Amino acid sequence: MKKLLAILLCLAMVFSFAACGGSSSGDQAAPAESGDAAADYPELTLTCAGLDKEDTAKAHDLRIFMDLVTEKSGGKITFNEYWSAQLGVATANLDTIGQGIADVGTVCTLYTPTQLPLSQITYCVPFAPSDVAMAGELMDKISEAHPEFYEEYEKNGTVCLAWKGNEPYKLYSKDGFETLADLKGKNITMGGVYYVPWFESVGAIPVSAPAADLYQTIKNNLAVGSFVYDSIYCDFKLYEVEANVLDVGLGARNCDVIAFNKAKWDTLDENTQALLKECATEAMDQFHDWEKDQMAGWEQQMKDNGVEFKVMSEEDKALWAETALAHQDTLEQWIGDATAAGYDGAAIMADYLKAGEEMGYTWVFDTSKYM
């Protein structure tokens, strides 16, 4: 009797399992794809290094990225967050990540001309596209054609996960600039090796200052103008010390990337690596949409704070491009720098300019000598 009851109980369990959708060992469920919260991701807590305050626009892509990773990993991958360059100075965040002080974070390529010579291509071409998504897409295209752009990150102990397009640079000032001639003899804050000769070509005096120091630099009269973009201007309330803006049309740039420590990356399984790349790409797409929506808001914030707007004439733009390249051909300079670093600078530059044209952008200078 006991045997019969045991047999009946066993059969009941088998039928119950089948009814609930169970399967035999020969009918395995499909493996979870990247981004599936049910995937077998490892339990990880990653250290994240942000350059600026968490509530600034410059930090927003990193915020989106971390939230996506935690969500899509089903809560298995989380982050310890360090904002405002708490783990090291902002200008050295590539080293902070490359040395493993942080696992992931923002690298501002403006601060890394020697370590990341190829990435400086975004700065050396005057009057670039103003569309923020196009600025990021341009880097996507050139790095796809030339994997060396990713390899230079690996040489610095990092993995580049995604390129970000920052909104167009403008020129902000205390007393107001209207024409190219107004820049002569004026101290203006900026960064990078290629912007400097553009301003020097028209007699301006470049002053180096990171975003967090701009307010005091202007307030203390160490400079009378700043070459940045609206989100930085608003986030740091620069309208309190310089209430004029000149839209010079120099274009949007790929200033930032999300980078990951290479040694840590190599310990991760392919599924986790795929998740991180997927989330970085999605974060940048979301950021660019958000950024475009915010641009009108930043402009309104500026107007609400009494900022006066001016637009540089097309004649002055053309004159500036001609004057800058005659003073110092920054495209040729970049080609030389890239070639000295062991890359085919001329071929990369030609492909970069062609990619912009294929995307529908018309450069404002004669590109024939570089093609």
Q: What is the pLDDT of residues 60-118, one digit of tens each?
A: 999 999 999 999 999 999 999 999 999 999 999 999 999 999 999 999 998 999 999 99
List the chain domain ranges.
Answer: 44-166+253-297, 169-252+301-363
Mean pLDDT of the chain: 89
C-alpha to C-alpha distance for 149 and 339, rounded to whole angstroms: 13
Q: What is the pLDDT of residue 16?
A: 37
The stretch 345-356 carries a mean pLDDT of 97
C-alpha to C-alpha distance for 20 and 16, rounded to whole angstroms: 6
Q: What is the pLDDT of residues 159-182, one digit of tens each?
A: 999 999 989 999 999 999 999 999
C-alpha to C-alpha distance for 189 and 174, rounded to whole angstroms: 12
Q: Listing from the earlier edge strand, what are the strands of the sheet with 44-49? A: 77-82, 44-49, 104-108, 253-261, 158-166
Q: What is the pLDDT of residue 39?
A: 62
Q: What is the pLDDT of residue 24?
A: 30
State the fold for domain 169-252+301-363: D-Maltodextrin-Binding Protein; domain 2 (3.40.190)
pLDDT band for position 14 (cuts 50, 70, 90) = very low
Does position 136 have pLDDT exceeding 50, yes or no? yes
Q: Which residue has the higher pLDDT, 357 or 11?
A: 357
Q: Say yes or no: do domains 44-166+253-297 and 169-252+301-363 share a fold.
A: yes
The stretch 333-348 carries a mean pLDDT of 96
**Amino acid residing at 155:** K
Range name among 101-105, 111-115, 248-252, 334-338 with the lowest pLDDT average: 248-252
Write the DSSP symbol of residue 128. -
Q: What is the pLDDT of residues 192-210, one digit of tens each?
A: 788 899 999 999 999 988 8
What is the pTM for the complete model shown?
Answer: 0.82
Q: What is the pLDDT of residue 212?
A: 84
Does position 301 have pLDDT exceeding 90, yes or no? yes
Taken as a whole, the chain contains a residue count of 371
Angle between helices 314-327 and 330-340 (to 10 degrees): 40
Does position 249 have pLDDT exceeding 90, yes or no? no
pLDDT band for position 216 (cuts 50, 70, 90) = very high
Q: Which residue has the higher pLDDT, 279 or 126?
A: 279
C-alpha to C-alpha distance for 85 and 38, rounded to whole angstroms: 34
- CA angle, residues 267, 270, 271, in degrees to nearest 5: 115
Question: What are the helix and strand counts (H, E) for the chain?
Answer: 14, 11
Specify whether the CB–CB gap between 236 and 215 falls below 8 A: yes
Q: Where do the DSSP E strands lie in the chain?
A: 44-49, 77-82, 104-108, 158-166, 169-173, 187-190, 205-208, 225-229, 244-247, 253-261, 308-311
State the fold for domain 44-166+253-297: D-Maltodextrin-Binding Protein; domain 2 (3.40.190)
